[in-house]
A and B are shown apart, each in its own frame.
Chain A
């Protein structure tokens, strides 16, 4: 009896997505039990508002991690793109043009990341780290280290902190993109090829598929997501500032990993990442409510990530 139960439990833990959602449910219940005052729409609203930014960045990061790579250029891609929008807008260009330019910026940065990985065959860990440093420098030069003093256009503010039917607009944008992402991963060639590359790029190449295009796609989605998050965060903070992307490197990556996507690529998906993103945000909130300082939060995060990676690693271990 015990044996069967133990085995069921063990089998269950092999499914990263299931573990992530179980953990999420546990956290929510724990939060409500710990402080019944939290069980309100306003608390949920606040969580969704924050999670949306992380979730949007985690879309591209999920794809990039699925192909066995990583995008470390997100923080300064986000900042740089936001700066481009803010300065164009301050110069009197229309906000749509400014936003378009920012998103284009993100796409181009993503494409340059992909050039390093797909064409020069360098590992993204090094290449995108270099890209991040380069963009940091470029941002400082571009702004003379003085971020543009501009009013954030109403459209941007609405997108970031507005509401539609009482739901944060940013969360709605995230929801639409999330559904789109899940469909892409499950129902399109591009999605199929992402998994194939993460598992065995050689086999895809020998199947006569140009895997480089797929790598470009993944990194460009990540670049686009970073730029979009930069726009939304500008609206959220009512300003662009240097270093605004600093908190958005490791947290989205943690969300992807907690959501059960294999860090080495090849398995996982965005459904898990959604739970992962909510977990990191709710955990932060819970720890804050419990008045645990930043050091304590970091310890709890570290422990959770290590525990989950150990749990998931059993599955990834080759059996033959």
Chain B
């Protein structure tokens, strides 16, 4: 599988790549270079710009500026098909397979080998798939097996083979090991090493750094949309990497944390909550006046936990106690009545009805309070909404404006206003400051601290480690649906949270439990 190459130097060399979404700078003059025939890991905290970079390399999006040199020539990747034709194949986090097709059909979808009459040749497809498996030492996959009969790990292999079937020069794996156990990771890397010896380069993005670092040649660390540095994996310590990921602290000036009185009443207790594959034996306690942070890498069950506490998740086991009494939070309206509020992940699709007015959105959860016999007194509703707009300093032209017309920060305030009105005791925040400006972020910190001062309980999951460190009395770290670590008091520092999330240092790497 050795090939001809145009010249020497790195296979992929990206310079000064810049990309912004709205007001958010995802990549800021980022450089990245990958050599021929190496396995190169991309690291960085959430929001560092790794995924955006990968999307640019795979033709999903175009950079605002910057140059990409591939195999000695300057290129632009206009679409995934274009990137594929030029030799870059990407395996994304979300699997893009067809459950009702066979392994071979999935691998060759879009470029099936044909017979002379132009029909799809099943025989050649199977043979080619088998040859591909043999070459890379995979002997347990049957090309005729239905994808739906495969384990998640094998599906991920199929996804990788699908990318390899186009014989790429560069293979990019985004979160390639998220579904794999230890032995499967080893098998995957055995395969990648074979590819590498054949001259293919591999760029690998994984949060499970501890698992992969022994397998990769070099690592590039990103932070705030730019490259911090590229190091050889063999001679770099965990601490150094965490430091590179964190960098210089920007002072976000968080409000003073109110001390948690020893006699603070217990608000919410969860014992042994499990549900599906995303929540495993979760236990937690929340006191009045406490801000409890949920940390961990993205997608480790934090969202599911908040939804479960809000009653939006079915088939849960375990016990929930509210104010010391058993509670069954089986539906959102039951949770609402019990005094629980959820500021959901996506304000545009879950938090707000965008075409409806500011007024209608703010009053959405509390309409029965503004009139009797099912009627809504517009006068009372308007008075109340005006109060909320003033209290949260929401910037609106008029309360009849559609929510769509507001900025992200103000939209998020609408969601909060809706829930403040319910008089809830427990507030669940899902990444409340994602994509909103710095000023509004600070306003949100004040509001969260204010809720705690009033004696309410707050559970906040956020992808910004600094927020956890700045706001929380206690931080729980989740990994693969489990609580793996609890940090309190002086332990709540960004490096410790980050290290725990990545399963580094402190010997805190969670035991992987066989599925």
**Residues of A that sit less than 8 Å from B by CB:** 187-190, 192-193, 195-196, 199-200, 202-210, 266-267, 319-320
Contact = CB atoms under 8 A, between A and B. Distances in A.
Interface string B374-415: 111010000000000000000000000000100000000000
Given A190-B374, A193-B367, 13 more contacts: A188-B374, A189-B367, A189-B368, A196-B360, A202-B350, A204-B353, A206-B310, A208-B332, A208-B365, A208-B422, A209-B365, A210-B331, A267-B355
Given A199-B354, A200-B349, A206 B332 contact: yes
Pick the most buried of A196, A319, A320: most chain B CB atoms within 10 A of its CB: A196
Nearest to B363: A192
B342 interface: yes
Nearest to A193: B367
Given A187-B378, A199-B353, A200-B354, A206 B342 contact: yes
B333 A189 contact: no
Given A187-B378, A200-B353, A266-B355, A192 B365 contact: no
B335 interface: yes
Nearest to A210: B333
B352 interface: yes
Given A208-B335, A320-B404, A202 B355 contact: no
B344 interface: yes
Contacts, number: 72
Nearest to A190: B374
B333 A209 contact: yes
Interface in B317-351: 331-333, 335-337, 342, 344, 349-351
B344 A206 contact: yes
Contacts of B169: none
Contacts of B280: none
Contacts of A205: 312, 332
A109 to B, nearest CB: 24
A189 B376 contact: yes
* Top-9 shortest CB links A-B: A208-B336, A207-B365, A208-B332, A207-B364, A200-B353, A208-B333, A189-B367, A199-B353, A206-B350
Nearest to B331: A210
A27 B34 CA distance: 71
B374 A203 contact: no
B364 A209 contact: yes
A195 B354 CA distance: 12
B418 interface: yes
A207 B418 CA distance: 8
Contacts of A195: 353, 356, 360
30 contacts: A187-B378, A189-B367, A189-B374, A189-B376, A190-B374, A192-B360, A192-B367, A195-B356, A195-B360, A196-B356, A196-B360, A196-B364, A199-B353, A199-B356, A200-B354, A202-B349, A203-B350, A203-B351, A204-B353, A206-B312, A206-B332, A206-B351, A207-B364, A208-B335, A208-B336, A208-B365, A208-B422, A209-B333, A267-B355, A320-B404
Contacts of A319: 404
Contacts of A193: 367
Contacts of A203: 349-353, 364
Contacts of A188: 374-376
Contacts of B368: 189
Nearest to B333: A208
A contact face: mostly helix, strand, loop, or mixed: helix
Nearest to A184: B374
B355 A199 contact: yes
Contacts of A208: 332-333, 335-337, 365, 422
B3 to A, nearest CB: 45
Interface residues of B, number: 30
Contacts of B360: 192, 195-196
B81 to A, nearest CB: 26
A208 B341 CA distance: 9
Contacts of B350: 202-203, 206
Contacts of A199: 353-356
A206 B335 CA distance: 10
Nearest to B332: A208
B412 to A, nearest CB: 14
B376 A187 contact: yes
Nearest to B311: A208
Contacts of A190: 374
B361 to A, nearest CB: 8
Given A187-B375, A187-B378, A192-B376, A204 B355 contact: no
A200 B360 CA distance: 13
A190 B342 CA distance: 23
Nearest to B307: A206
A214 to B, nearest CB: 11
A185 B354 CA distance: 19
B428 to A, nearest CB: 11
A190 B374 CA distance: 7
A189 B375 CA distance: 6
A188 B418 CA distance: 18
A139 B312 CA distance: 41
Contacts of A196: 353, 356, 360, 364
Nearest to B341: A208
A267 B331 CA distance: 28
A200 B404 CA distance: 13
A320 B418 CA distance: 23
A266 to B, nearest CB: 6
Contacts of B378: 187
A209 B336 CA distance: 9
A174 B350 CA distance: 38
Nearest to A209: B333
Nearest to A208: B336
A196 B352 CA distance: 9
Contacts of A200: 349, 352-354
Contacts of A206: 310, 312, 332, 342, 344, 350-351
Interface in B282-313: 310, 312
B356 to A, nearest CB: 6
B120 to A, nearest CB: 32
Contacts of B344: 206
A177 B344 CA distance: 39
A212 B375 CA distance: 19
A269 to B, nearest CB: 14
A199 B374 CA distance: 21
Nearest to A197: B353
Contacts of A187: 375-376, 378
B408 to A, nearest CB: 12
Given A188-B376, A210-B331, A204 B354 contact: no
Contacts of B331: 210
A208 B365 CA distance: 6
Nearest to A188: B374
Nearest to B381: A192
B9 to A, nearest CB: 43
A66 to B, nearest CB: 13
A189 B374 CA distance: 6
Nearest to A205: B332
Interface in B5-58: none
Nearest to B364: A207
**Which of A196, A203, A207 has the most chain B CB atoms closer than 10 A to its own CB?**
A207
